[in-house]
Chain A
Amino acid sequence: MIQRTPIADAFTYVLMVLGFILLIGPFIVILAGASQTLQQINSVPFHFLPQDRFLENASAAWSRANLGTAMTNSLIMACLVTFGKVALSACTAFAIVFFRTPLKHLFFWMVFITLMLPLEVRVVPTYAVAADLFEPFRLLISALTGTEISVEWNLLNSYAGLTLPLIATATGTFLYRQFFMTLPDELAEAARMDGSGPVRFFVDMLMPLSRTNMLALTTIMFVYGWNQYLWPLLMITDPTYKTTMMSLGALLPSENSLPDWNVTLAGSLIIMAPPLIVVAVLQRWFVRGLVATEK
């Protein structure tokens, strides 16, 4: 506290409450709407008080959009994406920082340039690759040797297709790289002195040391994985592989039936819950990861 300023303090509280209404208000509307009956939710003006119908609406939404399958698929996808990103970015950063090789600059720039190629601008050819994973290799081999080989691996409608194209990560790699750079040189020297090779150093020293980093990266990547929209939409046509983001459309009241938005809101609340819980419970790590990856 620098000085006593009652008027400014009151004004500060007004601003903070306004911010609360603006940013948390929509959650309250969703929660209230999701727990009302069909009549209540369609009444004008809107009632902000939550009622007692949430469980009925949630179970209606659960069966309408088949959320059991979708939640499982989203969970599997988010976990695979998170694990893959954390593991691969640690390995790549290790190769870039701790070895004397001319390739490290090539690796670094290759990873860096991916920042400029978001999925939306390369979506058709990426889809083509996923539909026929070995096409690049086939073309390469036939160009080099002149022989035609016929291996095919189609990633459509599979967990591999949902996750593999999303696993490469520049931000994660840079986070690890930055962390590895801050470690003192003596650490690797001491490890070497004690007879440890690079792999041992990586597993026994770097991994335990980077636990904080790992947790921060895990939280942001889980939210990223859960919230993927465009890629699953293209990749999946088989309903058994549908993710939650794809079920949003199924939750919408159809044009000529009852406007049961209470069910829609209950469903969307279920879909929002997992990343919301991660951010709420692990907020310290989430914020740390966010601030660290953007530097």
Chain B
Amino acid sequence: MEKRSVFNSWWLPILFALPQILLILLFFYWPAIAVMKWAFTLEPPFGGAAEFVGLTNFKEVFADPFYWKSVAVSLIFALCGTFFTILVGLVLAIAVDRQLPGSGLFRFLYILPYAIAGPAAGMAFRFILSPERGLMASVNAAFPDFWNPAKYGTHALVLVIVIFAWKWAGYTFIFLLAGLQSVPRSLAEAAAMDGAGPIRRAVDIQVPLLAPTLFFLLVIMMTEGFVGSDTFGIVHSTTGGGPNHGTEVMVFRIVDEAFKGLNYSGASAQSIVLIGLIMIFTFIQFRFIEKRVHYK
């Protein structure tokens, strides 16, 4: 889409765009080029210029079993997080969309967790779901060792997924409710005339018509689960990647390896893999949005 009426000036647009373009060049492109460079080179241990080593860094990363563990953890985290956020958001959106008295209040409340930063939520949940106090202590008293995220990797992974889902359920709720409200009321009325009850209408009319929104949220939440800033924040503030690498998601491993392990080349090679993954997600998202615009 192009505007027909525009201003003619060659220097004004440059002036207007320059501040942001400069920041982007400095803090996005220059670092991205450095990541590329580091991924394919290796600093000699006793100083000197970096040597070009081809794919050695990638081979080293792929040979590391902990790397593949972080891939698996990230995949579980993103898949489960996405599933539960969308499920909770969908159920609540369908309930609120029935517009019973009082549902406005619930709509207002459901969005609130989204305001909380991942690490702050993580801090609170360390208490709420702690094995010795808070909510799980009574369960642990009845069934000893039933829940202990400090000891078992699986429990820790469940904990970070719960925090992620808690925060993002309100987000999917907003989009799904907006999607439901754009479904014409007459469709539901016609179905009711044909004898379909509320649950049947939800399953057979509303959810299928939400398919574009659901797909969009699927892509967004998968991206968020893999590389979102909350993913790092939640893991860093609750479990620190442990116990025994049980919650070490890919972004956490990259930051950890770079700043603790000082292995820039390895971290950069992992970054390149992740950037490739984001590109695929972004590509899918925009292909799909193009389609949605065509159908409108």
Take A129-B27, A265-B124 as given contacts and tell me if A22 and B166 are in contact as well, using a CB distance cutoff of 8 Å: yes
Complex: A247 Cα to B26 Cα, angstroms: 29
Known contacts A46-B137, A279-B111; A261 and B91 CB within 8 A of each other: no
B174 touches A23 (CB 8 A): no
Compute how far the CA of A280 lies from the CA of B114 in the bound complex, rounded to whole angstroms.
11
Chain B residues with CB under 8 A of A211: none
Cross-chain contact A23 with B170 (CB below 8 angstroms): yes
The listed residue (B13, B120, B185, B254) touching A248 by CB distance below 8 A is B120
A214 at the interface (CB under 8 A from B): no
Most buried by B among A104, A118, A189: A118
Shortest CB–CB separation between residue A246 and chain B, in angstroms? 9
- Contact between B271 and A121 (Cβ–Cβ < 8 Å)? yes
Chain A binding surface SS class: helix
Judge whether B112 and A100 touch: CB under 8 Å.
Answer: no
Q: Which residues of A contact B128 (CB under 8 A)?
A: 26, 29-30
Which chain B residues lie closer than 8 Å to A213 at the CB level?
none
Question: Once the chains bind, are A117 and B220 in contact (CB under 8 Å)?
Answer: no
User: A19-B88, A245-B119 given as contacts; is B32 within 8 A of A122 (CB)?
Assistant: yes
Also in contact, A276 and B229, with CB within 8 A (given A88-B20, A189-B5, A229-B236): no
B6 with A188: CB separation less than 8 A: yes
B175–A294 CB distance below 8 A: yes
Tell me the minimal C-beta distance from B269 to chain A in angstroms: 11
- Indicate whether B264 reaches chain A with its CB closer than 8 angstroms: yes
Known: A88-B20, A91-B17, A124-B267. A198 touches B197 (CB 8 A): no
Instruction: Give the contact stretch, choosing among B46-54, B95-103, B153-161.
Output: B95-103
- Checking B92, B133, B233 against A19 with a beta-carbon cut-off of 8 angstroms, the contacting residue is B92
Closest B residue by C-beta to A277: B115
Residues on the B chain within 8 Å of A226, using CB: 117
Q: Is A50 an interface residue (CB 8 A)?
A: no
With A15-B92, A168-B23, A173-B20 as known contacts, state yes or no: A261 contacts B14, CB within 8 Å. no
Contact A261 B127 (CB under 8 A): yes
- Which residues of A (179-221) have their CB < 8 Å from a CB of B? 181, 185-186, 188-189, 192, 197-199, 201-202
Please, which residues of chain B bring their CB within 8 A of the CB of A41? 133
User: Which of B61-69, B75-83, B273-281 contacts its partner?
Assistant: B273-281
Contact of B138 among A3, A45, A129, A165 (CB under 8 A): A45
B3:A185 contact, CB within 8 angstroms: yes
CB distance from A86 to the nearest CB of B (A): 12
Q: How far is the CA of A136 from the CA of B33 in the complex (A)?
A: 11
Q: Which residues of A contact B119 (CB under 8 A)?
A: 229, 245, 248
**Cβ of B31 under 8 Å from chain A:** yes
Cα–Cα, bound, A12→B93 (Å): 11
Q: Name which residue of chain B comes closest to A183, CB basis.
A: B3
* Of B8, B135, B188, B192, most A-chain CB atoms within 10 Å: B135
Contact B175 A118 (CB under 8 A): no
Q: Are B112 and A280 in contact (CB under 8 A)?
A: yes
Check A115–B282 contact: CB distance below 8 A. yes
- Judge if A258 is at the interface, Cβ distance under 8 Å: no
How far, in whole Å, are A97 and B7 apart by their CA atoms in the complex? 10
B175: chain A residues at CB < 8 Å are 291, 294
Interface of A toward B, CB cutoff 8 Å: 1-3, 5, 8-9, 12-13, 15-16, 19-20, 22-24, 26-27, 29-30, 33, 41-42, 44-46, 88-89, 91-92, 94-101, 103-104, 107, 110-111, 113-126, 128-130, 133, 136, 164-165, 167-169, 173, 181, 185-186, 188-189, 192, 197-199, 201-202, 223, 226-230, 234, 245, 248-249, 251-252, 259, 261, 264-265, 268, 271-272, 275-276, 278-280, 283, 286-287, 290-291, 294-295
Q: Which 3 A-B pairs have the closest CB atoms?
A: A227-B117, A125-B34, A125-B31
